[in-house]
Structure 1
Amino acid sequence: MAGYDTSRAAQALRLVGVSKTYGSGENPVRALDGVSVSLAAGTFTAIMGPSGSGKSTLLQCAAGLDQPTEGRVFIDGSELTGGSETALTKFRRQRVGFIFQQFNLLPALTVMQNVALPLRLAGKKVDRKQCRSILEKVGLGDRTNHRPAELSGGQQQRVAIARALVTNPSVIFADEPTGALDTRSARSVLTLLAGAVREFGQTVVMVTHDPVAASYADSVVFLADGQMVGTLAHPTAEAVAERMTHLGDEVSLRRVVGA
């Protein structure tokens, strides 16, 4: 695994007044409403909120998978502009890693081939030694020639983590990465993500609904009704759960103050 790139920007991710509206006419849906947040490089941030709060939309806009209706997004100091899809795809392949709930591994490829795929897509030379080193670090050094169907769910997600790490991206976005796993496997995956941050300076942004998962992060950003309604540093599962129960009250208070 490559070490921390000290030439990177101090802020790995910055959103400035980001809004996203779906549809038009009489009933548009405003999924995000003026969200501004800055996340330092080498940090692990959890994004939390009730269903429909805008968590997934925030991740998609921040990662360049969707274009915000308003606002600006910066990754590693470079703005995600409204250029061509080809340019945006190239940017994502160079700067962004993804981990999904359902792993998204290609079943016909071996573990090694799945991990090397981002390098091939980016037109980079595949360093099998580097890929093997990453697989060893996630505990799969003896599974390089296996296919996804021959692995457990937790092992498949560890392959997905290795695949996200292989290009040494500026930011890794994880969308409910433990949602399909049992408790033991989930704990293992979260420990790996936290280790990637602390040992190698990676930056991880994780959407989750689970207070226990959020407790592995350095901080939590809370969303409600498409707005950022608070943060929590050094979270515990208990503190996160308590904060989640009062998000509705915070939204109501903001509306009264803003009225």
Structure 2
Amino acid sequence: MRHHGRTPRHTAHAEALRLVRVTKSYGTDDGGADRVTALDDITLSLPAGTFTAVMGPSGSGKSTLLHCAAGLDRPDSGVVAVDGEEMSGGPGPARSEAALTRFRRTRVGFVFQQYNLLPTLTVAQNTILPLKLAGRRVDRQRVERVLTDVGLGDRLGHRPDQLSGGQRQRVAIARALVTEPSVIFADEPTGALDTRSARDVLRLLQEAVRLHGRTVVMVTHDPVAASYADTVQFLADGRLAGQLTAPTVDAVAERLAHLGDNIPMGV
């Protein structure tokens, strides 16, 4: 994958993502038994140009952490900053929903388990959709280069139902890359893929970091997927429960077992 486009924004900020004392609860507001604390006083700093996996038992708060960090959900308290700029919390008024949406469209990219492609649009049209929504100029040649880089240069006119699952997820990665975001959030991006396609997707996420200078934050339940990351952050009961640098499959699986997560080993 070649480097193209403008220099990543993170050159001015060594820190791509910062959470300070972030809490989030769901349920009734009266403090009763139905109230569930999904995130409990989370403080986390991720350097720019890194690949971080977030893991933990079911119900540990992984997806809530991702959604709050990405600006898809607002925390009850605490500060979330992307690229040195606060999305929520901190002094001053909270961003409006419109301002938050604009911020996400320029600074953040998303890759989801179920691809989230529009079935009536072609590969190229799905890829440029974030640019269209943001009212940004579309450089067709650059879009073609991004799609070629993810192995879809000969599929520009195909629709999602003409693609395999792995190809659909590569469209989703191209769509995330095309806006040149600071941070790409990936929620179980290999969950619906076979082993080979999953590894292709994970390598593309690695390249987004190593060749394009993006920062990737990936929620996964899979020790094999996590082994592609630089660091694994573990969650349990809504709290950080340690980290693992240069993770191996066995080391991740062992740590998860200690968190009470009995997870199958395959991709």
Q: 1:8 offset after TM fit, Å?
A: 3.7
Q: Which residue of 2 aligns with 1:12?
A: 16
Specify the code of the residue in structure 2 equivalent to 1:7. Answer: T
How do residues 148-167 of structure 1 correspond to structure 2 at under 5 angstroms? 148-167=160-179
Aligned mates of 1:4, 1:243 — CA distance in 2: 37
Distance 2:11 2:103 in 1: 17
1:50 aligns with 2:50: no
Deviations 1:106-136 (A, max 9, x none): 0110000000111111110111101000001
Is 2:97 the partner of 1:74?
no
1:93 corresponds to: 105
Q: Aligned partners of 1:207, 1:221: CA distance in 2, in Å?
A: 10
Distance 1:161 1:8 in 2: 25
Q: Report the counterpart of residue 130 of structure 2 in structure 1.
A: 118
Question: Given residue 212 of structure 1, which amino acid in structure 2 is its aligned partner?
Answer: V
- Residue 2 in 1 paired to residue 21 in 2? no
Q: What TM-score results when the alignment is normalised by the length of structure 2?
A: 0.91
In structure 1, what is the Cα distance between the partners aligned to 2:98 and 2:161? 32
Q: Which residue of 1 aligns with 2:264?
A: none
SS in 2 for 1:19: strand
- The answer to whether the Cα contact below 8 Å between 1:218 and 1:233 also exists between their aligned partners in 2 is yes
Q: Residue 104 of structure 1 corresponds to which residue in structure 2?
A: 116
CA separation in 2, counterparts of 1:69 and 1:194? 32
Shift of residue 3, structure 1, vs aligned partner: 5.3
Find 2:48's aligned residue among 26, 41, 62.
41
Tell me the residue number matched to 1:65: 72
1:205 alignment partner AA: V
Aligned to 2:223: 211
Q: 1:46 to 1:166 in 2, by over 3 A?
A: same
- Matching residue within 219, 242, 255 for 1:243: 255
Is it true that 1:84 corresponds to 2:96 in the alignment? Answer: yes
| Contact kept in structure 2, 1:3 and 1:200, CA below 8 Å | no
Bigger share in helix: 1
Q: Distance in 1 between matches of 2:211 and 2:12?
A: 16
Aligned length: 249
TM-score by length of 1: 0.94
Percent identity over the alignment is: 67
Q: 1:7: Cα distance to partner?
A: 3.3
Moved more, 240-249 or 54-63: 240-249
Gaps of 5+ in 2: 89-93, 262-267
Asked if the contact 1:18/1:68 (under 8 Å) is kept, the reply is yes
Q: Distance in 1 between matches of 2:182 and 2:13?
A: 9
Partner-residue secondary structure (3-state), 1:7: helix
Secondary structure of the residue aligned to 2:137 is coil
Q: Is the 8 A contact 1:173 1:205 kept in 2?
A: yes
Residue ranges of structure 1 left out of the alignment (5+ in a row): 250-259
Residue 70 to residue 177, structure 1, CA distance change in 2 (3 Å): same
Q: Distance in 2 between matches of 1:248 and 1:136?
A: 42
Asked if the contact 1:20/1:30 (under 8 Å) is kept, the reply is yes
* Distance (whole Å) between structure 2 residues aligned to residue 116 and residue 194 of structure 1: 22
How far, CA to CA, are the matches of 1:155 and 1:8 in structure 2?
34
Q: What amino acid maps onto 1:69 in structure 2?
A: D
Contact (CA 8 Å) 1:3, 1:201: kept in 2 or not? no
Q: Find the aligned partners of 1:143 and 1:103 in 2 and give their Cα distance.
A: 16
Report what 2:190 is aligned to: 178
